[in-house]
Structure 1
Amino acid sequence: MNAVHDDADVIVVGAGPAGSSAAYYCASAGLSVLLLEKAAFPRDKICGDGLTPRAVAELAAMGVSLREDQGWIRNVGLRVVGGGHRLELPWPELSSYPSYGLARSRMSLDHLLADHARAAGAKLLERTNVTGPVLDERTGRVVGVTARPVDDAGRRAGDEVTYRAPVVIAADGVAARLATSLGLEKRMDRPMGVAVRTYFRTPRHDDPWMESHLELWDGAPGRSNLMPGYGWIFSLGDGTANVGLGSVASTAAATKVDYKDLFAKWMANAPEEWEFTPENQLAPVRGAALPMGFNRGPLYGNGLMLVGDSAGMVSPYNGEGIAYGIQAGRIAADAAVQAAARGSAAGRERALATYQTRMKDELGGYYTLGRVFVRLIENPQIMRICTRYGLPRPLLMRFTLKLLADCYEPRGGDMVDRVISGLTRLAPAA
């Protein structure tokens, strides 16, 4: 598979969780890997910093140490606040996933995973901005990328370089510059979320629960206006918490909501004991788009794989993308490894095509149900009814937690697991 003019067996563009996962698994299997990252570590990313048990299972499979004395804080479940209710829902006890989640800032997490990939043998090139694909003149297949070195501010710092490989994995985030340069545009009929967040010093830094606020008020609850969206508080165990809010729409149409203003109103009415004050705010409020439900594809074609945000792999239910990005990196790497073992071009293409098939089989039905879920909850009246009358019902909330967190037994399990599994199998993987 590796020709003499190739620089690596696989080029991975972007060293976030999806890209580092792909690089790690490819390198661990003996492939030569170039991992190209436009920034220098440590670098920040807009994220809630909370990891569900599904993400924890993926990290464990990568061999990442998850000991609490190495910067992780464990959480025992989800605390839901809304409709006059306050419920604590422990993560379920399952054979497929651990019964705890984790939190860690993306500044630290991404650096850790990139180093993990490098320790497995991947060659990491930081401050390397990929500028476009390299195409085979005869077939139009992607056979590499062009890139140029940049400084810490992202300014050009050298001449453009060409890197070649038989397989290119695009993990270049929501902008998906490689995919868009090839005409792979996002689907406007897929959900799109928006989130903003910042960090506060707070006594709540060691709260063992991930907290979700299903209602946001611009004054005292019940005596003010209900604002769009949902909020979160994820404790990081280091004296700080990640605090943010977001919303989701069933299409990718631009929203006119001023989320930073909405966030400021929420914080102005936060309880004093949380200490979410301007004096304790450690960073500006920053926002990002959350592409959901496979909003770009194909996931594989002509030598290019899309993983993570570049393919819109954020969950429509809860806005999580890390678990699915790492999963996609793992499956993409397996396809690349199998392709490297094939003796013909046709055989290699068949192996690489299994990536899309497997991802659609594993997540397609779940994401399809998620699109239905988003169409329901984006109606404020329906959301209010669900919050007020659904939260007090234990069986319904157990079902909701497993569905929203994607933590259920895919085979077997209890009645709730079987219902969710059945629904995801019945839903078309579009």
Structure 2
Amino acid sequence: MQTDYDVTVVGGGPSGSIAAEQLARRGYRVALVDPRNRIKPCGGAIPSRTLADFDIPEAVLVSRAAAARIIAPSGRKVEMRIGELGYVGMVDRSTFDPYLRERAVSAGARLLIGKLQDISTRDNGTLDLTVEPTSGDPQGAPITLRTRLVIGADGANSAVRRLAFPASRKPPYVFAYHEIVETPARPDPAQFQPDRCDVIYDGRISPDFYGWVFPHGEQTSIGCGSAVKGHNLRLATADLRHAAGLGDCKIIRREGAPLPLKPMRRWDNGRNILLAGDAAGTVAPSSGEGIYYAMLCGRLSANAVEQVLLTGKSAALRQARESFMRAHGRIFWVLGMMQTVWYRNDRFREKFVAMCADADVQRLTWESYLNKQLVRRDPFAHVRVFFKDIGQLFGMVANQK
């Protein structure tokens, strides 16, 4: 079976689904390939801006978070209320991703349930993609898709990246693991609140990242991440469940996957393939936030691919990364520095949590997160935070002498 497409999008998560929907709405022939056999481990947090930017109805949200509670290694807790700035929407990937894929199909994309096996290039520059069906039919024969361009939005272990890019071209990552449990009807409010996200900075939970307890309405995501080999993520997650008073809650599902934490230096192969989302490494350092950035990557990838289709100039593929880094490169650098400085050990984590109690830090954090840009309207607040950071660091150095 051979079919012709302008663009084939591999991966039906937030990035790939948005790319496929955008291109299909513009009248292009689009195939969307997704195995539909797994759910990415994810806290499920999206800023309220996401709903407006990508026309997401509030009905898709499983809950709203009005605060985050930061917990230090010593057990110190700092609650950061969002207030009038907005809220953090919570989604469950088991329902959110299929919703986005259905939008792409409604826009005109063809959804193929399968797993990419091979990519080959014809003499005329078109690509043949071999897709093995994963719909459960053991007699299902591999399908060959002929396409002009490919968007690889198939996650941190991207098959597109593996097949079309050098082995060295992959971002660094931590491994994330979480468990979805039933939310108790009457939880202890001192341990768990259904409108609050708990973020745990403790070397026993994660020696280099953090743990989380994120409410999803009737369900709750509990998990952690780490790049340290040998660290027992399941045991750490069990500790988080018990600390949140959720130890006896029924476990609905368990999921694990790598989580990239740095955008790749190049997302395209210079000809006809473009990476997007986790495949390109666009998960924010320090926070691990990826849904909004993945959806933005999908939109930017669709724009770049359309330029290639209109002009025939493959150099236009670079526009996706250039646009993304121009808008968010600085905040990714800041978050990367935060992770490098403050996540190194429990002494620094303790200081970091103490800083989160500061009113300037809280306001700038929420405004930057919700608006997806560094706050510029109050430069003196940045100066105050800067000197507080320096004071904390010099205090740490002095104490270690």
Q: Percent identity?
A: 25
2:151 paired residue number: 169
Unpaired runs of at least 5, structure 2: 387-401
* Cα shift readout 1:78-136 (whole Å, capped 9, x = no counterpart): 22222543333234766xxxx2111121100001110111111111112x111121213
2:167 paired residue number: 185
Deviation larger for 359-368 or 166-175: 359-368
Distance 1:151 1:214 in 2: 41
Unpaired runs of at least 5, structure 1: 219-225, 423-430
Deviation larger for 411-420 or 304-313: 411-420
Q: Secondary structure in 1 aligned to 2:213?
A: strand
Give yes or no for contact 1:299–1:311 (8 Å, CA) kept in 2: no
| Corresponding residue pairs, total | 377
Query: 1:90 is matched with which residue: 78, 81, 99?
Result: 81
Task: Report the residue type matching 2:173 in the other structure.
Answer: M
Matched, 1:241 2:220: yes
Distance 1:416 1:321 in 2: 30
Structure 1's 110 and 417: CA in aligned 2 closer, same or farther, altered over 3 A? farther
List 4+ stretches of structure 1 deviating above 6 A: 416-420
Q: Secondary structure in 1 aligned to 2:321?
A: helix
Q: Structure 2-normalised TM-score? A: 0.83
Q: For residue 326 of structure 1, report the CA deviation from its aligned partner.
A: 0.3
1:260 paired residue number: 234
Distance 2:380 2:27 in 1: 41
Q: For residue 66 of structure 1, report the CA deviation from its aligned partner.
A: 1.6
Matched, 1:414 2:396: no
RMSD: 3.1
Give yes or no for contact 2:203–2:345 (8 Å, CA) kept in 1: no
Query: 1:158 is matched with which residue: 101, 118, 140?
Result: 140
Structure 1's 151 and 186: CA in aligned 2 closer, same or farther, altered over 3 A? same
Task: Report the residue type matching 1:365 in the other structure.
Answer: R
Task: Report the residue type matching 2:131 in the other structure.
Answer: A
Q: Secondary structure in 1 aligned to 2:314?
A: helix
Distance 1:363 1:103 in 2: 22
* Cα shift readout 1:161-197 (whole Å, capped 9, x = no counterpart): 2212221100111111111112333557x54222211
Structure 1's 330 and 44: CA in aligned 2 closer, same or farther, altered over 3 A? same
Give yes or no for contact 2:71–2:353 (8 Å, CA) kept in 1: no
1:327 paired residue number: 296
Query: 1:8 is matched with which residue: 5, 8, 11?
Result: 5
Task: Report the residue type matching 1:324 in the other structure.
Answer: Y
Distance 1:309 1:260 in 2: 23
Q: For residue 308 of structure 1, report the CA deviation from its aligned partner.
A: 0.8
Task: Report the residue type matching 1:415 in the other structure.
Answer: P
1:374 paired residue number: 339
Matched, 1:129 2:121: no
2:399 paired residue number: none
Q: For residue 415 of structure 1, report the CA deviation from its aligned partner.
A: 2.8
Structure 1's 228 and 349: CA in aligned 2 closer, same or farther, altered over 3 A? closer
Q: Structure 1-normalised TM-score? A: 0.78
Task: Report the residue type matching 2:152 in the other structure.
Answer: A
2:181 paired residue number: 200
Structure 1's 216 and 354: CA in aligned 2 closer, same or farther, altered over 3 A? closer
Deviation larger for 7-16 or 356-365: 356-365
Distance 2:380 2:81 in 1: 15
Q: Secondary structure in 2 aligned to 1:79?
A: strand
Distance 1:62 1:406 in 2: 14
Q: For residue 206 of structure 1, report the CA deviation from its aligned partner.
A: 6.7
Q: For residue 418 of structure 1, report the CA deviation from its aligned partner.
A: 7.1
Deviation larger for 319-328 or 280-289: 280-289
* Cα shift readout 1:365-397 (whole Å, capped 9, x = no counterpart): 332333322222341045334235323322234
Q: For residue 416 of structure 1, report the CA deviation from its aligned partner.
A: 7.1
Distance 1:12 1:284 in 2: 28
Distance 1:50 1:186 in 2: 31
Distance 2:383 2:346 in 1: 26
